[in-house]
Structure formats: structure tokens, C-alpha cells
Amino acid sequence: MPRHDRAMRQNFGSEALRRAHGRAAGAPEGGWWRAALDRVIAASSLVSNAPVLDVRDFGWTAVLRDRWQAIRDEAIRVAMSPKGGADSVALWRHGEPVGETLAQCPVTAAAVACIPGVERACFATLAPGAHIAAHRGATKGLVTCHLGLIVPRDGDVRMRIGDRYLRWAEGETVVFDDTYDHEVWNDAAATRMVLLVRFRRPLRQPGRWIADMVLRTMGRPDRR
């Protein structure tokens, strides 16, 4: 039995382990056991568990805001695409830098390297008229940051997270917990672009151990 499975059985019991591997009859994918682990992670959080977090709790966001124009220029060179819908160009994946892309984006590479616990980073575009349907992130152990790079002004470009609506601004950051139900619209005539960064939530024990276990057993989430 893998070490993380032994640890889950010791801490949560054999039934939790059995359901975690999807063998419980009628258990929804990522069902009660994921919610239970998220509650432990939330109780261990060193930052707010609200849908939208205070950027002042993440000092490194100031680096993104200070360098946003240079980051935007690099993004335009590598990420603008004629495709419709949503698209992205990976910069960090599963906690590892994507060297081929970062070589073209030295300012972005240096800024993202300052972020503790970065798991994923990308330039994410949303085409005119696109809608990302309501969904939830995989684990509360990760938090998401957007830096506005290109935000159309000729229409409504917005994100709903829980019961709040957010609108991006160029050069500004927003930090949020994507385990809350959220969706995105671009009701404008131009493409929206952000730098998306997903990073490990600051945690005390036992939440840190549990969040790391979730990432190992479930794989790294990779949703927009």
C-alpha cells in the first residue's frame, strides 16, 4: 500500500480510503471525503477562507502590479491566439517551470519565481462572447491569483464567485478561492487576457500535510 494511502487509513479510517479510491457505491466524484478534507484545510488556513481574499495578505502581488505592462507585452508576443473560447499558454505546470515559454518571457519568469508555492501559471485568454460555465476547483489547498493584462472596455467582462461579481482592471490583481462555485463571461468585442497563478494556500499543520496528500493522490488540478 502506498505511503499516502497508509496515512489516510490511519488518520481517516479504511472507509475513507475505500471511498477516496472511488469504490463506494453511489459516492459522487470528489464527494463527501473531498469536502471533509477541505474543511480540515480551511481550519488550518493562515489566510481568509472567503471567496475573495485581500491582496495585501500576499505581498508578492505588488511585484506583479509593478511589472504588469512588461508582463502584458510578453504575453501579447506568446499568447494572443485566433482561437475562440478560452485558451492558455503554460508558464508553470505542476510546480515546475515551462522553460521553453519562460525563455521568451524573462520579466514574467522573474515575477512568478517570487511567488511561494506556485503550482501553475499561464497567460489565459477569453475570446469575445465566451462563457466559462459554473464550476469548482479541485482542492482548497490551492488559491488563485489573476493579474489583469488586457481588459476590454466596450462590454461587460466579469467573473461570478459565490454570490459576488468581480471585474478585472488592467494592472490590478484579484486573489480568490476557486473551490467556490464560479463562472466567467466576456460580453465584449475584444479578448480578455490575464496572468493566472495558482499557488499553495498558506497553512499550518495538519492542513499542510493533508493538502499535500490531496495533490499527490488526485493529481495537480489544471482548470482555468
- Set of cell numbers at residue 36: 471533509
pLDDT: which is higher, 19 or 105: 105
Instruction: Count how many domains the chain has.
Output: 2
Band (165; pLDDT cuts 50, 70, 90): very high
Helix orientation angle between 106-113 and 68-79, rounded to the nearest 10 degrees: 120
Band (86; pLDDT cuts 50, 70, 90): low
Four-CA torsion 94, 99, 105, 109, nearest 10 degrees: 50
Instruction: Please check whether residues 102 and 87 belong to one and the same domain.
Output: yes
Instruction: Please check whether residues 119 and 13 belong to one and the same domain.
Output: no
Q: Which residues contact 217 (CB under 8 A, 6 or more apart)?
A: 4, 5, 8, 20
223 occurs within a structural domain: no
Instruction: Please check whether residues 58 and 29 belong to one and the same domain.
Output: no
Instruction: Please check whether residues 87 and 148 belong to one and the same domain.
Output: yes
Query: Given this model, what pLDDT does residue 179 score?
Result: 95
What CATH number has the domain bearing residue 87? 2.60.120.330
Q: Which domain holds residue 104?
A: 52-200
pLDDT, tens digit, 9 for 90 and up, residues 122-137: 999 999 999 999 999 9
* 3-class DSSP assignment, residue 116: coil
Nearest to 21 by CA among 10, 38, 11, 34: 34
Decide the pairing of beta strands 156-161 and 182-187: antiparallel
pLDDT, tens digit, 9 for 90 and up, residues 195-224: 999 999 999 999 999 999 988 876 554 444
pTM greater than the 0.75 cutoff: yes
224 occurs within a structural domain: no
30 occurs within a structural domain: yes
Nearest to 192 by CA among 133, 145, 126: 126
What average pLDDT is seen over the chain? 85
Nearest to 78 by CA among 127, 122, 110: 122
Q: What angle do CA 105, 92, 55 make, to 5 degrees?
A: 90
Instruction: Please check whether residues 30 and 59 belong to one and the same domain.
Output: no
